[in-house]
């Protein structure tokens, strides 16, 4: 192994690590705010990627109809859960969120998709289609269980993951897709050959992390989200609707998932079920980072990315095994250091 | 003007009644205290009024029924609770805790929030000194001040305090009760739950005695403080000491 291979592997690891970092961050966020281990986030990666691939080829993505269906179900769930508390304004808001917004996105897609939109339009449209599904799923599946133990929420999340994988097969078929990169540029820096897409990924990941940091540190909504994570009862007592906080956390997770998919599908072929293993790497990073620390999750994600890339060079058959096994010594170390903890709160 | 009107509410934990048929009312600018032994259901009563626990019966706030409303709706209507465990945002700064208390009024903009913060800092100068400190690092008295300050940031019409003296040194209890008396001048109605019956009856207008989930006695603070049963059970033998 010489220096140039080392550099290439490191570059690969960092690019993938950046994606895993985004996924890990959103997993930590969702867990902190809602106690849900969002297993289904990987499906958002696949859905985002395949929707984007379909749009760049001028096809109407099948996931579009899922958005409409989830909107209707979300309306029913919202009306039921808010009974007794509904005002005219809250019903209008619910209608806008569950009917108007999906309808507008569906209409826009039906008009734009046959025109074979440009890459940026296709990317934005894919984000618009996939992101709202996440808060809708929260409304339908998790909000009624807000007080359930973590294990029940985890089982629900696994069920959601299985259902979405199946739907993915219906919408996108079993073939793999690849989409054109945002930029074909190749930048040579010494022995290093940097594809434009890699630079896009790292730049967007960094920008998003900074934006998240600013959101949580400087805005009242961001602080309300943190407050909900720190002390749910305290948050409710100052009038923060904790369901709203859950919706925002899930929306962020859906957005980050879809965006990650769009960013990596030009680099690697994705199928309807490849979201899970990508999501699992984000999850591994989140766990190594302690499922509670944002910087910890980012560092761990880079570590996962680098481990993966070096493992694929030395022992490519065992790549996944090595990456996922890394979680065991970390868990062992954590449990030795902190002792057993209650699984519930 | 009646701020809070509670009529005949019941709460049960897994079928076992915790409070039965409790009614009470609090008028504007009034301090009403509920005293009673540990486990009498005093905290349960406050949690039911705030909507944390499901209850049967009627709760009207400013004349509007609140039955079935979410906590957030009740906060928006003007109710604030300082719970027994304070429920602060421990890993956030003192100032962020206070800012979040203003969540109900967030549409009024940063200037209004600044003013509200200044008011709280005048009331509790300690919170201004500690503004950059994490809430989890505060002393017991400071935590109580922060919990009250956070609740007051919402400018409530009714402030409910659950055992504000719990675990605090006597000197700090005196300060806290001083502040509660001062708050009355601002027109906020106060519903105070206390085990420290002596201190509570000193500042309250009216009092209710709660035992095993029921109201067993009620009257003005002076009558209660003179009632031989109360003196014996809650105030001890020498009410005039000190």
Sign of CA dihedral A30, A32, A34, A36: positive
Q: Virtual CA dihedral for A29, A33, A39, A42, nearest 10 degrees?
A: -40
Q: Directed axis angle between helix A119-130 and helix A242-264, to 10°?
A: 150
Instruction: Please identify among residues 115-154 of chain B the ones whose CB lies closer than 8 Å to any CB of chain A.
Output: 150-151, 153-154
What SS3 state is found at A35? coil
Sequential DSSP letters for A46-82? HHHHHHHHHHHTTPPPTHHHHHHHHHHHHHHHHHHHT
Q: Which superfamily does B1-78+156-242 belong to?
A: P-loop containing nucleotide triphosphate hydrolases (3.40.50.300)
Mutate to test the interface with B, among A227, A238, A294 (most CBs of B within 10 A): A238
Instruction: Classify A23 in phi/psi space as left (phi over 0), alpha (psi -120 to 50) or beta.
Output: alpha
Secondary structure letter of residue A142 according to DSSP: I
Set of chain A residues whose Cβ sits within 8 Å of the Cβ of B99? 220, 223
In a domain, A113, yes or no: yes
Query: How are beta strands B158-162 and B189-194 bridged, if at all?
Result: parallel
Set of chain B residues whose Cβ sits within 8 Å of the Cβ of A241? 70, 72
Asked if the Cβ–Cβ distance from A233 to B81 is below 8 Å, we say: no
In a domain, A28, yes or no: no
Closest residue, chain A, to B159 (C-alpha): A237
Whole-model pTM: value is 0.86
- The range of the structural domain enclosing residue A112 comes to 33-274
The nearest CA of chain A is from the CA of B149 a distance in Å of 11
Q: Directed axis angle between helix A63-81 and helix A88-95, to 10°?
A: 170
Sequential DSSP letters for B15-55? TEEEEEEEEEEEETT-EEEEE--TTSSHHHHHHHHHTSS--
Whether A160 has a pLDDT exceeding 90, the answer reads yes
Asked if the Cβ–Cβ distance from A235 to B100 is below 8 Å, we say: yes
In a domain, A188, yes or no: yes
ipTM of this predicted complex?
Answer: 0.90
Set of chain A residues whose Cβ sits within 8 Å of the Cβ of B87? 231, 233-234, 237
Query: Does the beta carbon of A219 lie under 8 angstroms from any beta carbon of chain B?
Result: no
pLDDT at A1: 64
In a domain, A130, yes or no: yes
> Using one digit for the tens of pLDDT, what is the confidence trace for A278-291?
999 999 999 888 88
Query: How are beta strands B2-13 and B79-82 bridged, if at all?
Result: unpaired
Render each residue's pLDDT in chain B as its tens digit; 242 residues.
899 999 999 999 888 899 999 999 999 989 999 998 888 899 999 999 999 999 999 999 999 998 888 898 899 999 999 999 999 999 999 999 999 999 999 999 999 999 999 999 999 999 999 999 999 999 999 999 999 999 999 999 999 999 999 889 889 999 999 999 999 888 899 999 998 888 899 999 999 999 999 999 999 999 998 888 888 877 765 544 44
Set of chain B residues whose Cβ sits within 8 Å of the Cβ of A238? 75, 100-101, 103-104, 150-151, 153-154
Sequential DSSP letters for A161-189? HHHHHHHHHHHH-SS-B----S---EEEE
Chain CA centroid to CA B201, Å: 14
The nearest CA of chain B is from the CA of A93 a distance in Å of 16
How far is residue A48's CA from residue A39's CA, in Å, rounded to a whole number? Answer: 16
What is the domain partition of chain B in residue ranges? 1-78+156-242, 87-155
Asked if the Cβ–Cβ distance from B100 to A238 is below 8 Å, we say: yes
- Range A314-320, long-range pairs (CB < 8 A, 24+ positions): A320/A277
Beta carbons within 8 Å of B171's beta carbon, 6+ residues apart? none
> Using one digit for the tens of pLDDT, what is the confidence trace for A21-73?
999 999 999 998 999 999 999 999 999 999 999 999 989 998 999 999 999 99
Closest CB to B89: pick one of A84, A231, A239: A231
Closest residue, chain B, to A85 (C-alpha): B69
Given a contact cutoff of 8 angstroms between Cβ atoms, the answer to whether B58 and B65 are in contact is yes
The nearest CA of chain B is from the CA of A91 a distance in Å of 15
In a domain, A185, yes or no: yes
In a domain, A293, yes or no: no
Set of chain B residues whose Cβ sits within 8 Å of the Cβ of A239? 71-72, 75-76, 103-104, 154
Query: Does the beta carbon of B31 lie under 8 angstroms from any beta carbon of chain A?
Result: no
Beta carbons within 8 Å of A46's beta carbon, 6+ residues apart? A168, A261, A270, A271, A272, A273, A274, A275, A276, A278
Size of interface A-B (CB pairs under 8 A): 72
In a domain, A27, yes or no: no
Chain CA centroid to CA A309, Å: 21
Q: How many domains does chain A have?
A: 1
Query: Does the beta carbon of A248 lie under 8 angstroms from any beta carbon of chain B?
Result: no
């Amino acid at each position: 192994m010489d220096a140039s291979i080392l550099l290439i592997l490191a570059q690969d690891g960092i690019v993938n690590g950046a994606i895993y970092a985004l996924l890990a961050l959103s997993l930590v966020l969702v867990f902190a705010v809602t106690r849900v281990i969002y297993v289904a986030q990987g499906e958002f990666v696949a859905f985002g990627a395949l929707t984007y691939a379909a749009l760049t080829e001028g096809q109407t993505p099948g996931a579009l109809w899922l958005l409409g269906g989830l909107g209707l179900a979300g309306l029913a769930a919202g009306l039921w859960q808010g009974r007794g508390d509904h005002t005219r304004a809250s019903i209008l808001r619910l209608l806008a969120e569950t009917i108007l917004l999906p309808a507008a996105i569906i209409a826009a897609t039906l008009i734009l998709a046959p025109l074979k939109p440009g890459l940026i339009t296709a990317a934005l449209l894919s984000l618009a289609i996939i992101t709202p599904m996440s808060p809708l799923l929260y409304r339908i599946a998790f909000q009624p269980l807000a007080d359930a133990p973590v294990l029940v929420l985890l089982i629900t999340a696994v069920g959601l993951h299985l259902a979405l994988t199946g739907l993915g097969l219906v919408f996108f078929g079993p073939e793999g897709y690849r989409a054109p990169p945002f930029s074909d540029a190749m930048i040579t820096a010494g022995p290093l050959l940097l594809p434009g897409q890699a630079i896009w990924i790292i730049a967007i990941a960094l920008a998003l992390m900074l934006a998240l940091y600013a959101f949580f540190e400087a805005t009242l909504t961001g602080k309300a989200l943190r407050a909900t994570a720190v002390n749910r009862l305290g948050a409710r007592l100052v009038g923060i609707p904790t369901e709203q906080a859950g919706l925002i956390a899930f929306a962020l997770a859906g957005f980050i998932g879809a965006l990650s998919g769009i960013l990596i599908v030009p680099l690697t072929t994705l199928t309807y079920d490849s979201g899970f293993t990508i999501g699992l790497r984000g999850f591994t990073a989140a766990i190594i980072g302690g499922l509670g620390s944002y910087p910890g999750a980012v560092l761990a994600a880079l570590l996962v990315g680098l481990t993966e890339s070096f493992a694929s060079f030395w022992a490519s058959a065992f790549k996944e095994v090595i990456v996922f096994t890394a979680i065991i010594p970390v868990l062992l170390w954590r449990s030795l250091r902190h002792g057993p903890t209650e699984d519930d709160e | 003007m009646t701020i809070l009107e509670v009529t005949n509410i019941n709460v049960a934990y897994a079928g076992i009644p915790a409070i039965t048929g409790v009614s009470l009312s609090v008028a504007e600018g009034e301090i009403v205290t509920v005293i009673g032994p540990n486990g009498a259901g005093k905290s349960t009563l406050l949690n039911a009024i705030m909507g944390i626990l499901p209850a049967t019966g009627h709760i009207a706030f400013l004349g509007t029924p609140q039955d079935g409303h979410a906590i957030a709706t009740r906060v928006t209507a003007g109710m604030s609770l300082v719970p027994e465990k304070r429920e602060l945002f421990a890993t956030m700064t003192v100032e962020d805790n206070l800012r979040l208390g203003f969540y109900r009024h967030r549409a009024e903009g940063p200037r209004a929030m600044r003013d509200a913060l200044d008011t709280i800092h005048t009331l509790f100068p300690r919170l201004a000194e500690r503004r950059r400190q994490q809430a989890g690092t505060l002393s017991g008295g400071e935590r109580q001040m922060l919990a009250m300050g956070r609740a007051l940031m919402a400018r409530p019409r009714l402030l409910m305090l659950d055992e504000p003296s719990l675990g605090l040194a006597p000197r700090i209890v005196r300060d806290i009760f001083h502040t509660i008396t001062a708050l009355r001048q601002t027109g906020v109605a106060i519903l105070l739950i206390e085990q420290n019956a002596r201190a509570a009856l000193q500042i309250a207008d009216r009092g209710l005695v709660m035992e095993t989930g029921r109201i067993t006695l009620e009257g003005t603070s002076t009558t209660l403080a003179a009632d031989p049963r109360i003196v014996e059970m809650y105030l001890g033998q020498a009410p005039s000491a000190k």
